Amino acid sequence: MQWTQNYDPLGNFLLSALVAAAPIAVLLGLLLCGFSAPRAAIAGLITALVVSICVFGMPGDAALAAAGYGACFGLLPIGWIVFSAVFLYHLTVRSGQFEVVKRSVAAISPDRRVQALLIAFSFGAFLEGAAGFGTPVAISAALLIGLRFHPLYAAGLALIANTSPVAFGALGTPIITLAKVAGLPGVDPADSHTAEMLLSQMAGRQLPVFSLIIPA
């Protein structure tokens, strides 16, 4: 069954956008109120189903199918990548190699600015490309804290540094996903490779600018 989404079901783009943002608002609101992540996620999912069916007119079976597809997509590609990254991190910690990495970086330069660039920006970019989904921030921040950076300062540096390479994170998952839903003009929807290449080229033109601005 084919269903075409109406992006403005309420006749007002601002109001329609606010209603469409309700699942995110519910998710973040419950997290801020102290609810556990699984409960907040389930509440956000229920809100998304209600909004999609009751407001945007999405057929119920299509909404459930989309929810199932999203769950599988999050569990298999995304979950597997994150699991592998966390496993590798714990392996390096248990084997003592994590301390070797910290000492190696500290031995390169005692300058904390250089250490921040090496760990948060360079090593973090590598982790973003290999794993993504928050693991670069967690691991880079842990390394910085191990080098006696203040925890809040380390987390802030890791988060800021992660803004540049995130488009190509998790083995290019953002680009691949965007290529499937972007509907680029002049590109056959079935030709995902061409869409991925075009989006990668545009991201490649934009990110060097941010990579120069953010460390400054």
Residue 215: the pLDDT is 55
Q: What span, in angstroms and rounded, lies between the C-alpha atoms of 127 and 119?
A: 10
What is the gyration radius of the CA atoms in the chain, in angstroms? 21
- Do 106 and 143 contact (CB within 8 A), yes or no? no
Mean pLDDT confidence for 187-194 = 73
pLDDT in tens, 22-60: 999 999 999 999 899 889 999 999 999 999 999 999 998
User: How many helices and strands (H and E) does the chain possess?
Assistant: 12, 0
pLDDT in tens, 3-22: 778 888 888 889 999 999 99
Whole-prediction pTM: 0.58
For residue 81, what are the CA distances in angstroms to 41, 78, 84?
Answer: 20, 5, 5
Q: How confident is the model at residue 214 (pLDDT cuts 50, 70, 90)?
A: low
Name the nearest CA neighbour of 78 among 155, 162, 170.
Answer: 170
Contacts for 157 with CB less than 8 Å, ≥ 6 apart: 116, 120, 140, 141, 144, 149
Q: How confident is the model at residue 1 (pLDDT cuts 50, 70, 90)?
A: low
Q: Which residues of 10-27 are buried (b: 16+ CB within 10 A; e: fewer)?
A: eeeeeebeebbeebeebb
Share of the chain above pLDDT 90, in %: 17
Of 80-89, 147-156, 185-194, give the range with the top mean pLDDT: 147-156
Domain ranges of the chain: 1-58, 73-213
| Total length of the chain | 216
Token pair listed for 174: 């953002």
Q: What span, in angstroms and rounded, lies between the C-alpha atoms of 66 and 74?
A: 12
- Do 58 and 9 contact (CB within 8 A), yes or no? no
Contacts for 59 with CB less than 8 Å, ≥ 6 apart: 1, 3, 53
